[in-house]
Amino acid sequence: MALNRQDVLTQAVATLDRYGFADLSMRRLAASLGVQPGALYWHFANKQTLLLAVAEVILDPVLRSDASAADRSDPAGEGPAPSGPSTGEDPAATWRAAVGGWAQTLRSALLAHRDGAEVVASVLALRPRSLDPACPCVAALRAAGMGETEARAAAAALVHYTVGHAVDAQTHAQAVALGVREVHRDGATDDEAAAAQRFGFGLEVFLDGLARRLP
C-alpha cells in the first residue's frame, strides 16, 4: 500500500509518544514505516515542516475549541453574538471563563503527548502563520473590550506561561523516569495534582491582572 501524508504524520506522533522529541528523527521515522528516509520528503519538505504538522495535532483540542467558539458566536456569519445585560450574562465572568478554559485546554493538550510542550515551543519560536494557539484568548479579550495590541500581548504572555509550565512538568517527569534523585524545596510535592494547582493559581493571578486593564 502506498504511503501517504497522514500515514507519516500518524507514525510521527506515535514515535514522539514512544521515544520523545530528541529521538524523533527522519531516519527513525522512515525505519518504523519500512521505507527509506528520502520517501518521507515526498510528503514533508523537511523536518521542520513535519514538526509543524505534529504541533498541529498536539494543539488540535485548542484549535477545535476556537472553531467551536466562532460557530457559537457567529452561527450565521453575521458577527459576534451579543453578551452582557441584554442576555443576562456577566461580561466579566464570560471572558474569565473563556480565557481560563482556553489556558487549561492548552495545558492539557501539551501534556497529552510526551514532550508535547517542547515540540510546540520549538515550532512557535519560528512564528508560523498557519498555527496560532493564542487566537481564542485574543478573541475573548477583544470581545471584553481590550484593544488589539494589548489583547495579543496578553495572549502571548499566557501562551508563554502555559507552555513554560508544561515544559517544566514534562522535564521533571522525564528526570524522575531516568532515576534522578528528587529534591523538593521546603517539603513541597511535585505530583500532577500539585503542579495543576500551582498552574491554576498562577492563571488566576494573570486573570486578576487582566481584569484591571479591561474597561
Looking only at Cα atoms, what is the longest distance across the chain?
62
Tell whether 143 and 175 lie within a shared domain. Answer: yes
pTM: 0.86
Lowest mean pLDDT among 40-49, 83-92, 149-158: 83-92
Residue 21 placed within a domain: yes
How far is residue 136's CA from residue 70's CA, in Å, rounded to a whole number? 9
Tens of pLDDT along 16-37? 999 999 999 999 999 999 999 9
137 neighbors 189 (Cβ within 8 angstroms): no
Residue 49 placed within a domain: no
pLDDT at residue number 80: 47
**Structural domain span for residue 13:** 1-44
Instruction: For residue 149, give the amino acid letter.
Output: T
**Better pLDDT: 53 or 84:** 53
Give 162's contacts (C-beta < 8 A, 6+ positions apart): 103, 106, 107, 110, 199
How far is residue 55's CA from residue 188's CA, in Å, rounded to a whole number? 32
Question: What is the number of structural domains in the chain?
Answer: 2
**Better pLDDT: 107 or 187:** 107
Query: What's the whole-number average pLDDT of the chain?
Result: 88
